[in-house]
Amino acid sequence: QVQLVQSGAEVKKPGASVRVSCKASGYTFTSYYIHWVRQAPGQGLEWVGTINPIISRTDYAQRFRGRVTVTRDTSTSTVYMELTSLKSEDTAVFYCTRGRWELDAFDVWGQGTMVTVSP
Amino acid sequence: QSVLTQPPSVSGAPGQRVAISCSGSSSNIGATYDVHWYQQLPGTAPKLLIYGNTNRPSGVPDRFSGSKSGTSASLVITGLQAEDEADYYCQSYDRSLSGSRVFGGGTKLTVL
C-alpha cells in the first residue's frame, strides 16, 4: 500500500540543525510532489516547502526560506528536510505528505516526526 | 494569523448538521484556486477529507460535503457522529505569498 514513513523523533539544541527523512513506497516516487508541513504543539498546520522529485525543483514558504532545504534521493525514494539555526519555536511535529500535481491536495501523510528544540 | 480564516470551534449533537466556514481573499480562494479539507483526529496525522472544493476521496462518507463560492468555502457534516470529533483544516494556494500553500487556522468540532 502507499506509505510515507518518516524518521524518528529528534532532540536538538538551539542553533543546531535537524534532518528529517521521508521514505515513500507503494507508488511511483517521481509521480508525486512531496511537501513538508509543520504543527507546533496545540497549534495548526503550516506549510514549509515542497520538492518536485523529477527535476528536484523546490519551493519554500517565505518564513522558512534561507533556513530550510528539501532534497530527494530517487535511488531510495526518500525525501529529506533539513532545518538549520533551530529555535525553541521550531519545536513541532513535522509531517511529509504528497500531492499529484503542484497545487493538488495532500492525499497521503507520513506519521509525523517530533522535533524538540531545548537548551 | 492565518491567511484563511476558520471559526476556532463548532459543536453539534449526534445526528445534527454542522458547517465549518473558510474565509479567504481575492489572492487565494477568490482567485479560483481549489480548496481542500483535512480532518485530524487527536494524536494522528491529518487525513484528506475533501479535495478540489467538492470531491470526496474513496472511503470518505457522503455525510461530508464541500462547497465554494466567491472568496469562501464551507465544509458541511450531516448526521453528526461521535467519531467526527476532530480538528478540521481548509487549505488552498495564495498567489501573493510566493508559492505558498496556505492552511486555515483549524476548527475544533465537538460532538455534544
At B18-34, the pLDDT tens digits run 999 999 999 999 998 99
Tell whether A50 is within 8 A of chain B (Cβ). yes
What's the pLDDT score for residue B98? 65
Question: What's the pLDDT at B99?
Answer: 61
Secondary structure of residue A81 in the 3-state scheme: strand
pLDDT at A79: 98
CA B76 from centre of chain:
9
* Identity at A37, one-letter amino acid code: V
Distance from CA of B101 to the nearest CA of A (A): 6
The residue among B45, B24, B47 whose CA lies nearest residue B35 is B24
CA distance A45 to B87: 11
Q: What pLDDT is stored for residue B100 in this prediction?
A: 85
Residues of B in contact with A110 (CB under 8 A): 45
Write down the mean pLDDT value for chain B.
96
Instruction: Report the residue from B51, B89, B100 with minimal CB separation from A44.
Output: B89
Amino acid B68: pLDDT: 97
Cβ-contact B99, B8 below 8 angstroms: no
Where chain B has pLDDT below 70, the residues are 98-99
Mean pLDDT per 10-residue segment, chain A (119 residues): 98 98 98 98 96 95 95 98 97 97 93 97
CB < 8 Å to A46, chain B: 103
